[in-house]
Structure 1
Amino acid sequence: MTNGRELIKPPAGRRFQAMGLALILVFLGFWYLWEARLSRTGEEITQLVDVSPDDLSKMLGQGKPVVLEFYTNACPWCAAIEPELELLSEVYGKQIIVAKMNAEKYPVEAVKYQITGVPALILFDSEGSPLAIVSGYREFDQIVEILKDYKLVT
């Protein structure tokens, strides 16, 4: 005791040192991952635009080809194709517009374009006319080949 007060010493066991070091490492790991995500050179995190029929009409009038995915929330293949379409938008975004429309929310549009299953991609030319319906899951390279066949991308 010093002057009637007891000095409180911090715990000095190896266990506390190890816990402190572990917390610092976890913090540094999260910080590194966060910084790496934010500083991707030239890359942007692209999400597909979920459109309404009015939005689609505007897109079709922009003079660019459009790739429209019809999807439903419960469809696992729709979720699986989304990263492929996001990549398509990143790589070919200057040549085409890539968007998606919920077939359950807009059933009239799904009937209008004769969608019988999801995922389904509708390919529109630069004048807004539908060229083809591609049904089912496709990988990025397969989608690009189809778009090249229709001369929608180069």
Structure 2
Amino acid sequence: MNTDNIIILNDSNFDSYVLNESSFILIDFWASWCNPCKLLSPILDDISKEFKHNLIIGKVDVEKNPNTGVKYSIQSVPTLLLLKNNKIIDKKIGMLSKYELKNFLLMYINNQSCS
């Protein structure tokens, strides 16, 4: 399932999308009741378009997909995990501005040695 440039991930399809991917993947763990998650969503839409050649973005609703949240020890939403080659490179918890998120991503994408 793909909404524009963002993949909707769930407990069933998570591993098939994420485990064998060698590109950068930014995973947004969110919940429908979370206001910061709602504010982050349009920022992720913009980022998905700007970084479409360097980054895959996936979203996991932690209420509907509790197993994936538990697997990655998600205790707060929104939580963003940046992965490459099935390894967590970094994590951001809470709301980020578009500027902050772009700088966070560029720090890793411009330094490809984090594989």
TM-score, normalized by the shorter chain, greater than 0.5: yes
Residues 82 and 90 in structure 2, CA contact (< 8 A), matched pair in contact too: yes
Residues 70 and 119 in structure 1, CA contact (< 8 A), matched pair in contact too: yes
Q: What is the identity, as a one-letter code, of the residue corresponding to 1:94?
A: H
Residues 6 and 45 in structure 2, CA contact (< 8 A), matched pair in contact too: yes
Counterpart in the other structure of 2:109: 152
User: How far off is 1:101 after superposition?
Assistant: 0.2
Larger RCO, structures 1/2 (Cα 8 Å, 6+ apart): 2
Q: Quote the RMSD (CA, aligned, Å).
A: 1.9
Q: Which residue of 33, 39, 56 maps to 1:97?
A: 56
Q: Which residue of 88, 95, 98 maps to 1:137?
A: 95
Among all aligned residue pairs of Structure 1 and Structure 2, give the percentage whose two residues are the same amino acid: 19
User: How far off is 1:109 after superposition?
Assistant: 1.3
Q: Which has the larger radius of gyration?
A: 1
TM-score in terms of structure 2 length: 0.83
Q: Deviations over 1:70-109 (max 9, x none)?
A: 0011111111100110111000011110110011111121
Counterpart in the other structure of 1:27: none
User: How far off is 1:53 after superposition?
Assistant: 3.3
Please state if 1:65 is matched with 2:28: no
More helix, by proportion: 1
SS in 2 for 1:82: helix
Residues 92 and 153 in structure 1, CA contact (< 8 A), matched pair in contact too: no
Question: Any stretches of 5+ residues in structure 2 without a counterpart?
Answer: none
Question: Any stretches of 5+ residues in structure 1 without a counterpart?
Answer: 1-44
More strand, by proportion: 2
Q: Deviations over 1:39-89 (max 9, x none)?
A: xxxxxx936332113433233223211000000111111111001101110
TM-score in terms of structure 1 length: 0.64
What is the count of residue pairs matched by the alignment? Answer: 108
